[in-house]
Amino acid sequence: MKKFISKIYLALIIILLYAPILTLVVLSFNSSKTRAKWGGITGKWYVSLFHDDGIMNALYTTLVIALLSAVIATVIGTAAAIGISAYRQRTKSIFMGVTNIPMLNADIVTGISLMLLFIAFKFTLGFKTILLAHITFNIPYVILSVAPKLKQTNKSTYEAALDLGASPIYAFFKVVFPDILPGVISGFFLAITMSLDDFIITHFTKGPGVDTLSTKIYSEVRKGIKPEMYALSTIMFLTVFILLILINTNPKENKKTEHIINSKARKVSKLIMHRLIPATMVVVIIIGGFVYSKTNKTVDSKKQLIVYNWGEYIDPKVLTMFEKETGINVVYEEFETNEIMYPKISSGAISYDVVCPSDYMIQRMIKNNLLSKIDFDKVPNIKHIGSQYMKQSRQFDPTNEYSVPYCWGTVGILYNKKMVKEKVDSWNILWNKKYKDNILMQDSVRDSFAVALKSLGYSLNSADLDELNAAKNKLIKQKPLVQAYVIDQVRDKMIGNEAALGVIYSGEAIYTQKENPNLEYVIPKEGSNVWIDSWVIPKNAKHKENAEKFINFLCRPDIALLNFEYITYSTPNVDAAKLIKDPDIRNSKTAFPDPKDLDRCETFKYLGTKYDRIYNELWREVKSK
């Protein structure tokens, strides 16, 4: 009976642990691109996975960092454990105290403290800094697995070996090392596991152009995870799972079966431990290296272009076409928000050649003298950009000298016609108690305040403390009704019928309508935000001419059309808009709203550091209520 209960208990815990894993495995076979909808079984993600350079590079970086950091940490850690054991008790405990710090310290503190160190000592953040950080947090795991084994070893055998004339090194490897080997191996595997699983420390110590799977996934959380990621995790998980089962089932049978099988089984498991695993590792590194070197050909640095763009904000085909046509090698980096992008540019740590910020951020960058003027003789395709968009750009780039519009859109309400029966034309519906727990708001200061300010009839660039406080109070009043504050997850949640109403960017709305025809987008009558994301060239760009070629390329109508179809954000390229085949989209009010709707909309303006801080503080008050 007791055995039975404990079996059930074990089974329950295993179910708890593996339910999410199973969910991910199932998702990897989902043919619909969004997590929120089941579209039937498919294996296509397992194929397209291997064609996705971004994911393959991240996989390679992750594996190399995990293996290298584990090997180095194992060597340093094992040596340290042996060394520490020779010290007196007091010194020993000081050592162990220090060793405990990275394990007990919050990941966020470790990550930040290492980042501060790297910046202070002028390390360029990148592959090396991630590696250093991972070694740092891996060493303690090795020490803590080796130290107990060391304590169990019999000191006299070692001394005996010495007395019999063995050199200390020989004696160590023949006598002590076999005893502590299990500890060393488990330390090594723990180190690999921790390194693979780490996100927060990598997040803070990584530099541009380097991504591990974790950081790649994090940047995708907002846009919706690519299904290929599920497929990759499934492959990785199953590989390890099968390997471990192979290793573990063999010795288990040993006791019961005959001696011959016993030795055979041991041989097999030995073969796996000593040959197969190292061999797979070597193969992984070599194959990975091959893929990696293929994508990272060392090129003439003149033939290079470093692009810094929003996540999922260009058709990958366009980049390959550009590389083919011009012979310029593109290094492509993504950011999640304007606020994350800005310090990277202003610190000058990395010289990007071409960046795609939003309106108010461009104004701030011009003001702080971070941008250089674009030579429009080199960008003749600017003629395809509608004059109304150039005019609108003057709100943040008064002379039209610094920026070329790339995408634009509005912010509005997306609602589910099945759940909302009344007419939706005002922001105030987001304060209607009927929709409690069915409302999604934007998790960003300016966007949320814009909704509240506009609903109160104020400007969304308000710098009036009374108005701002009124907006804050209105947002606090709304909070109990809000289901969640999200960024791009609005997309998945609205498609999956998780909420009735959501504040969303018009470009995302077009995508959601394709997936769920019950969704409708509206720009409220009080007015809203109209925004433009434009290409700019930072002052410290090293390849300005290439950047101009790139901008010119993107302004070509056929290219702009490709991008529009991929990212579904409205294009300012009027000649591209004419080429759109699907009349529903060409005439869509969501993609290309009526001018009278736009008249009520404003562009965000940069309000200065002081007001930035005030907005941030008021927002924190809302969030913590």
Partner 1 sequence: MTNKHSLKKLLAGPYLVWAVAFIIIPLIMIMYYGLTTEKGHFTFANIATITTPDNLKALGLALLLSIISTLICLILAYPLGMILSNSNINSSSFMIILFILPMWMNFLLRTIAWQSLLEKNGVINSVLSLLHLPRFEMINTPGAIIVGMVYNFLPFMILPLYNVLSKIDKDVINAARDLGANGFQTFHRIILPLSVPGIISGITMVFVPSLTTFVISDILGGSKILLIGNVIDQEFVQSSNWHVGSGLSLILMIFILISMAMIAKYDKEGEGSAF
By CB under 8 A, what part of segment 417-476 binds partner 1?
437, 443, 445
Chain positions 244 to 283 lying near partner 1, rule: CB under 8 A, are: 244, 248, 251-252, 255
Q: How far apart are CA 195 and CA 71, in angstroms?
A: 12
Least Cβ distance, residue 99 to partner 1 (angstroms): 8
Chain positions 162 to 201 lying near partner 1, rule: CB under 8 A, are: 162, 168, 186-187, 190, 193, 196-200
Least Cβ distance, residue 176 to partner 1 (angstroms): 11
Q: How far apart are CA 548 and CA 558, in angstroms?
A: 18
**15 lies in the binding site for partner 1 (CB under 8 A):** no
Q: Which of 23, 124, 428, 587 binds partner 1 (CB under 8 A)?
A: 23
- Which value, to the nearest 10 degrees, does the dihedral of the CA atoms of residues 176, 181, 182, 186 take? 130
Least Cβ distance, residue 252 to partner 1 (angstroms): 4
Least Cβ distance, residue 47 to partner 1 (angstroms): 20
Least Cβ distance, residue 352 to partner 1 (angstroms): 18
Chain positions 500 to 559 lying near partner 1, rule: CB under 8 A, are: none
Which of 248/320 has CB closer to partner 1? 248
**616 lies in the binding site for partner 1 (CB under 8 A):** yes
Interface pattern 314-343 for partner 1 (x via CB under 8 A): -----------------------x-xx-xx
Q: How far apart are CA 144 and CA 81, in angstroms?
A: 8
Q: Which of 246, 284, 484, 614 binds partner 1 (CB under 8 A)?
A: 484
Instruction: Supply 457's token pair.
Output: 């009839």
Cβ atoms of residues 45 and 227 within 8 Å: yes
Query: Phi and psi of 410, rounded to 5°?
Result: -120, 170
Instruction: Supply 581's token pair.
Output: 């085949």
Q: Which of 32, 113, 304, 459 binds partner 1 (CB under 8 A)?
A: 113
CA distances, 128 to each of 35, 68, 109, 134, 427 (Å): 34, 11, 20, 10, 49
Instruction: Supply 562's token pair.
Output: 């490709």
Instruction: Supply 607's token pair.
Output: 């309000």
CB-side neighbour CA atoms (13 Å) of 105? 19
Q: Which of 47, 116, 465, 579 binds partner 1 (CB under 8 A)?
A: 116
Q: Which of 39, 97, 278, 327 binds partner 1 (CB under 8 A)?
A: 97
Q: How far apart are CA 144 and CA 319, in angstroms?
A: 48
Q: How far apart are CA 332 and CA 430, in angstroms?
A: 38
Q: Name which of 412, 424, 418, 431 is nearest 496 in CA terms.
A: 418
Chain positions 142 to 161 lying near partner 1, rule: CB under 8 A, are: 143-145, 147-148
Which of 20/583 has CB closer to partner 1? 20
Q: Radius of gyration over alpha carbons of the chain, in Å?
A: 29
Cβ atoms of residues 220 and 228 within 8 Å: no
The stretch among 232-240, 286-294, 302-310, 427-435 that binds partner 1 (CB under 8 A) is: 232-240
Collect contacts of 548-552 with beta carbons under 8 A, ≥24 apart.
548/374, 548/375, 548/378, 548/379, 549/326, 549/328, 549/378, 550/305, 550/307, 550/322, 550/328, 550/330, 550/353, 550/354, 551/354, 551/374, 551/379, 551/404, 552/378, 552/379, 552/380, 552/381, 552/382
The stretch among 141-149, 381-389, 390-398, 572-580 that binds partner 1 (CB under 8 A) is: 141-149
Q: Which of 29, 34, 35, 389 binds partner 1 (CB under 8 A)?
A: 35
**348 lies in the binding site for partner 1 (CB under 8 A):** no
**230 lies in the binding site for partner 1 (CB under 8 A):** yes
Q: Which of 34, 69, 74, 110 binds partner 1 (CB under 8 A)?
A: 110
Which of 13/282 has CB closer to partner 1? 13
Least Cβ distance, residue 448 to partner 1 (angstroms): 11
Q: How far apart are CA 45 and CA 558, in angstroms?
A: 28
Which of 217/471 has CB closer to partner 1? 217
Instruction: Supply 262's token pair.
Output: 């016993």
Least Cβ distance, residue 152 to partner 1 (angstroms): 11
Least Cβ distance, residue 216 to partner 1 (angstroms): 10
Which of 122/324 has CB closer to partner 1? 122
Instruction: Please work out the total of residues on this chain that contact partner 1, with binding judged by CB under 8 A.
Output: 114
**80 lies in the binding site for partner 1 (CB under 8 A):** yes
Q: How far apart are CA 49 and CA 232, in angstroms?
A: 7
Q: How far apart are CA 383 and CA 365, in angstroms?
A: 25
The stretch among 110-118, 279-287, 454-462, 503-511 that binds partner 1 (CB under 8 A) is: 110-118
Least Cβ distance, residue 293 to partner 1 (angstroms): 25
Which of 398/480 has CB closer to partner 1? 480
